[in-house]
Structure 1
Amino acid sequence: MTEPLVVVVAAALYDDTGRLLAARRSAPPELAGRWELPGGKVESGESPEHALVRELREELGVTAEPVARVPGEWPLMKDGYVLRVWRARLVDGTPAPLQDHDELRWLEPADVWSVDWLDQDVPAVAEVLGARSTPGAHP
């Protein structure tokens, strides 16, 4: 397998009650109104874990800690882009939609599929839910 051109990282960020954070896109127009796991592109020379921490600080105003990578990667709409997901723990702050999002929602496990996830996030979220169903898998 060839290395992707661009890695996009996302956080499966859970609160202390086991709710998953979903973020509704406000941009670009073709993605606006749909939901995703928050995150963004890994910059040149940056580790994926560092990118995840940076993106959550920029987009949500929080400090988070990557806990473990969720198995798999998922192709995004742009050629050469892949999504990789980490379970993450909120260290400090209250998430707020600062960049690229207009709403955040903490989803109970039974409500995870109540939002209109981006197509490329659907298999990633399904994998996250599968990872959480094993003992000790949550932060």
Structure 2
Amino acid sequence: MLFVVAAAVIDMEGRVLVQQRPPGKPMAGLWEFPGGKVEPGERPEAALIRELHEELGIDVEAACLAPATFASEALGERHLLLLLYALRKWRGVPEARHASALKWVRPLELHRLEMPPADKPLIGLLEALV
């Protein structure tokens, strides 16, 4: 089982932040919600706070992470469990530190982006949430 956390970073205009996977990585060029793997012994919220700081340069308090939904996806011999949190409050300006690009989009626009299979089922919930 591979545990991954991600954030639907939502701005005051109701847009969601997505990042583009860089060349040389699996699924390069696809758009995804920022986040990453949960290390052994790490709490999901702590992993997401760490990943958002590393990937976007933003600081997040655990109390600002609202559990939203999850996705479950087979990955060859492994299985991915993706936990999505909603985030509306953070410190700093997001920047693409480990991604090719960042983009703010309305939830409805997510349907037109090429995204990893595990991210696609999360779009419907975001449409209702935002």
The answer to whether the superposition gives a TM-score over 0.5 is yes
Q: 1:27 to 1:56 in 2, by over 3 A?
A: farther
The count of aligned residue pairs is 127
Distance of 1:92 and 1:105 partners within structure 2: 18
In the alignment, is residue 126 of structure 1 matched against residue 120 of structure 2?
no
Partner of 1:55: 51
Partner of 1:135: none
TM-score, normalised relative to structure 2: 0.86
**Post-superposition, which runs of at least 4 consecutive aligned residues in structure 1 deviate over 4 A?**
none
Superposition pairs for residues 1-139 of structure 1, below 5 Å?
Answer: 5-65=1-61, 66-78=64-76, 79-99=78-98, 101-130=99-128, 132=129
Q: 1:68 to 1:76 in 2, by over 3 A?
A: farther
Cα RMSD of the aligned pairs, angstroms, is 1.9
Shift of 1:76: 5.0
Q: 1:56 to 1:45 in 2, by over 3 A?
A: same
Distance of 1:52 and 1:76 partners within structure 2: 22
Distance of 2:29 and 2:92 partners within structure 1: 25
TM-score, normalised relative to structure 1: 0.81
% identity of equivalent residues: 35
* Amino acid aligned to 1:102: S
Which ranges in structure 1 are unaligned for 5 or more consecutive residues?
A: 133-137
* Amino acid aligned to 2:97: L
Q: 1:114 to 1:14 in 2, by over 3 A?
A: same
